[in-house]
Amino acid sequence: MDYDLKDITGLEPLAGDTNQSYVGYLNGQRVFVKKNSTPFFVAVANEKLAPQFLWSKTIDGHFWIAQEWLEGRVLKSFEIAKFPSQAMGILKHLHRSDYLALMLYRLEGQEMEPIDFLQEYYWQLPDELEREPLLKHIYTKLEDELPNFDHFNICACHGDVNHKNWIFRDQKQDEIYLIDWDSAILSDIFSDIGPLLYRYVDVWEWENWLKAYGLPKTDENWHKIWWYGQMQQLMQIKRQYEKGRLRLVKQEIAHLQMMTERKEQEDAR
């Protein structure tokens, strides 16, 4: 059936950074509605990587989508580590989908190789962050130690595996979903794997998570976890600073310092 926005009743905004997410009712059923979503989401839903897709429509120049409402909650940061097989299974499905990669190409999705991440971070970097000794040190090391990048093996990647984008479904205790696909890119699989493990999984568990994905522990894979993990943390620090969230900036820098010391200890062995 061809639904429209007028068919959704009781539409109310949800709290969020963009103020473009809503909850409403379609035929008496609760639904999630988003304004200015990415058309890529439709392809993601078709791959069963997102809750059931109901309709999409362009209205007054804005792309709207509606999907099944999940009774669940956002995973807390410490909970991510409880779902190795589920989280890595979702990423593996995403990364191996030729259909999703093709759809991103058709939608002119952004291709990101390591140097592009560095350039995005440094573009209009606030002076205070540019002067921060630890951030300068990490940026220089990342610049000097670019990981290998195979243009023939780039794939669809989520682009933002923050714990706030993982939903735990109440009805099924082992079912989780990855949401908010607006940051999807074409890149190396470790642009997703690296930040996820670096931020939420103890280093001594990384090898098991790689196995859950089907990857071996090699020097190259290990380097990519560290590289993309630290790169994403620099980006997060920049985003939080630009939003004026200075307390979170301090927390991010403290975590970066801790992980940097951990890596230096590992490199010294």
Residues identified as active-site: 160
Q: Is 18 helix (H, G, I), strand (E, B) or coil?
A: coil
Distances (CA, A) of 66 to 69, 176, 179: 9, 19, 13
Sign of the alpha-carbon torsion through 116, 119, 124, 129: positive
Q: Amino acid identity of 214?
A: G
| Alpha-carbon span 193 to 44, nearest angstrom | 18
| Alpha-carbon span 92 to 237, nearest angstrom | 27
| CA atoms lying within 13 Å on the CB side of residue 214 | 9
E-assigned strand segments in 4-108: 8-13, 21-26, 29-35, 53-59, 62-68, 72-74
| Alpha-carbon span 232 to 87, nearest angstrom | 18
| Alpha-carbon span 147 to 149, nearest angstrom | 6
Distances (CA, A) of 148 to 53, 115, 143, 211, 222: 37, 11, 12, 21, 12
